[in-house]
Amino acid sequence: MLLGLGLASCGSREPATDIAAREGILLWGNGTEPKGLDPHLVTGVPENHIISSIIEGLIAYHPDNDMIPAPGMAERWEHDPAFTVWTFHLRDAKWTNGDPVLASDFVYSWQRALTPELGNQYAEIFYIMKGAEAFNKVETKDFRTVGVKALDSKTLQVTLNGPAPYFPNMLKHYSWFPVNPRAVEAYGSIGDRQNSWSKLENFVGNGPFKLKKWATNQEIEVVRNPTYWDAKTVKLNGIRFFPIENAGTEEVMFRGGRLHLTNTVLNEKVPIFKKKMPDQMMIEPYLGNYYYKINTERKPFDDPRVRKALTLAIDRQLLVDKVTKGGQLPATGFVPAGVPGYPPSDRAAFHPDEARKLLAEAGYPNGKGFPKTEILVNTLETHRQIAEALQAMWKKNLNIHIGIYNQEWKVYLDNMKGGNYDMARAGWIGDYVDPSSFLNIMTTGNGNNDTNWGDPRYDALIDDAQRAPDEKTRFAMLREAEQIMMDAMPIIPIYFYTRVYLKDPRLKGWHPKLLDNHPVKYLYFDGQRVTAPKTAGSAPKPVSTASATAPAQ
């Protein structure tokens, strides 16, 4: 694999990153092979990086501020005084097959995302719309009862369950992205999970780049889309995403001139790189929670006292100081620090004496009789190191031994979805800056809640919060819901993320972002050669970006 990743010929000594930067090609370490590129069938961050480059939703990410919604397929929008009815006015834009992007494309796409047969794990994010939950739960089969409709070919109206001033920021997430109805119907039905429209040879997008190459477990390449509505802003000529799960391999490739961006950094290398490579070692705030899911139907984890004991026996400060080393914060709740007006819960603090007491009450005094169990992690050194640290803490503080089992990304996801685990490493990055982005996923039966836990009181509070008359009331409801979950402890919060990675300083237009979503149309390299978008009857023209700056939205 390493031999195939360079752009230089075998006899060239010039680093691949130098050649690629000059040609305007970004070499991106993307962590793992994506499960797919269908925005209604995936849930991961590696998938997000690729999908967001080739499909654009109504609202786009601002280049340097996660709280500002930027125009995407919608050039403007407005709402009623109650923030319940939103109207989006679409621009003239095209799909890569030449079709115009229509308001009805969004109606079809959101109906598809909510179609029960499709099994979209993000279906619940749409429940903010009037009638969406009833349709997804087959309480009605008439999609006309759902609060979205095309008023005409370029006007989309959305009716919500209650006031939601934050709704445009929700729409940035790829779960809301459109798919081309003609492409989907050409290769299957609206609810067909095996639909092949998103394969390389069939893919139709509307983003700043288009899919060119997909070599499984090797590389995904995208190139500039000349028919994109804002093609003049796009500076990069292409991006090559590499699925590199081994952080050591990633580091070797970065330092050897084969990557401009890495997905992560080995924990033990962070202090070294901070001193020796300060202009390349990035540590930034990141709205995410690293935690463990617990299969609450498996013994001994069906007992909440066992789950609480495991949680209270973790010295999180020691973990982030000695193991992760990237400025992470100990996670004492589920909603991470960084949401304005919503401080983290304190229910998961370190209390080893209380942990031992709870474990004894559950029938395992000093760990005696505790059954054989395992932590499931996806293949990555960092996850194993964290699991080993927790393993040691549980041995020291509870006198129990818990094994570790790692699996490749797709297999790991399938086993979590199927409930084939005891405890499993998990992480959740905010889809938008709001506590609901985290708490909504723990409702009963949610596609991203693989713990088999549910509580009617929790579900009711989450549902009622969508109809709250004001932000203060809504946050109070969400806080009460979080405390119910933290008392039951179907998850074990471990730490609040920071974004830790290596970046080539020549890459411009890349700014620290709380959600780590970097709109790729603003990225470029100093001194790169940019090919102007093709127009009928004209040849590509080189454009210099030696003194360019990232355009403001």
Backbone angles phi, psi at 170, to 5 degrees: -65, -35
- What tokens were used for 117? 């047969």
Tell which residue, 499, 505, 509, 497, has the closest CA to residue 277.
Answer: 505
What is the spatial distance between Cα 455 and Cα 492, in angstroms, rounded to a whole number?
17
| Helix, strand, coil percentages for the chain (3-state, nearest 5) | 30, 20, 50
Q: Which whole-number Å values give the CA distances from 258 to 3, 5, 20, 22, 505, in the listed order?
A: 10, 7, 9, 14, 14
Residue 418: is it exposed, middle or buried by C-beta count within 10 angstroms (0-12/13-18/19+)? exposed
Secondary structure (H, E, C), 208-245: CEEEEEEECCCEEEEEECCCCCCCCCCCCCEEEEECCC
Q: Please give the pLDDT value at position 533.
A: 53
CA–chain centroid gap for 13, Å, is: 37
74's enclosing H/E stretch is strand 74-79
**C-alpha 10 chain-centroid distance:** 37
pTM: 0.87
* DSSP string for 242-298: E----HHHHHHHHHTTS-SB-S---GGGHHHHHHH-TTTEEEEEEEEEEEEEE-TTS
The closest of 312, 300, 424, 410 to 358, measured between CA atoms, is: 312
Q: What are phi and psi of 214, to 5 degrees?
A: -145, 95
Q: Is the dihedral of CA 428, 431, 437, 443 positive or negative?
A: negative
Closest CA to 248 of 263, 224, 268, 266: 266
- Angstrom distances, CA of residue 42 to CA of 117, 147, 198, 418: 15, 24, 12, 15
The one-character DSSP state at 92 is: S
Closest CA to 46 of 135, 169, 154, 174: 174
Backbone angles phi, psi at 404, to 5 degrees: -130, 135
Q: Supply the DSSP string of 156-211, one letter for each residue.
A: EEEEBSS--TTHHHHTTSGGG----HHHHHHSS-TT-TT--TTSTTT----SSEEE
CA dist., res. 86 & res. 110, Å (int)? 15
Amino acid at 483: Q
The predicted pLDDT at position 353 comes to 98
Taking the C-alpha atoms of residue 419 and residue 302, their distance in angstroms, rounded to an integer, is 13
Looking at beta carbons, which pairs linking 69-77 to residues 24 or more positions away fall under 8 Å?
Answer: 69/168, 69/169, 69/171, 69/172, 70/519, 70/553, 71/553, 73/101, 73/106, 73/178, 73/206, 74/156, 77/168
Q: Could you give the maximum distance between any two Cα atoms of the chain, in Å?
A: 80
CB atoms closer than 10 angstroms to residue 351: 17
Note down pLDDT in tens along the chain; length 553 residues: 443 444 444 445 899 999 999 999 999 999 999 999 999 999 999 999 999 999 999 999 999 999 999 999 999 999 999 999 999 999 999 999 999 999 999 999 999 999 999 999 999 999 999 999 999 999 999 999 999 999 999 999 999 999 999 999 999 999 999 999 999 999 999 999 999 999 999 999 999 999 999 999 999 999 999 999 999 999 999 999 999 999 999 999 999 999 999 999 999 999 999 999 999 999 999 999 999 999 999 999 999 999 999 999 999 999 999 999 999 999 999 999 999 999 999 999 999 999 999 999 999 999 999 999 999 999 888 999 999 999 999 999 999 999 999 999 889 999 999 999 999 999 999 999 999 999 999 999 998 999 999 999 999 999 999 989 889 999 999 999 999 999 999 999 999 999 999 999 999 999 999 999 999 999 999 888 766 555 433 333 322 222 222 223 2
Q: Write down all domains in the chain, each with its CATH number in brackets.
A: 66-193 (3.90.76.10), 287-499 (3.10.105.10)
φ/ψ of residue 352, rounded to 5:
-65, -35
Q: Are strands 74-79 and 69-71 parallel, antiparallel or unpaired?
A: unpaired
What span, in angstroms and rounded, lies between the C-alpha atoms of 550 and 480?
42
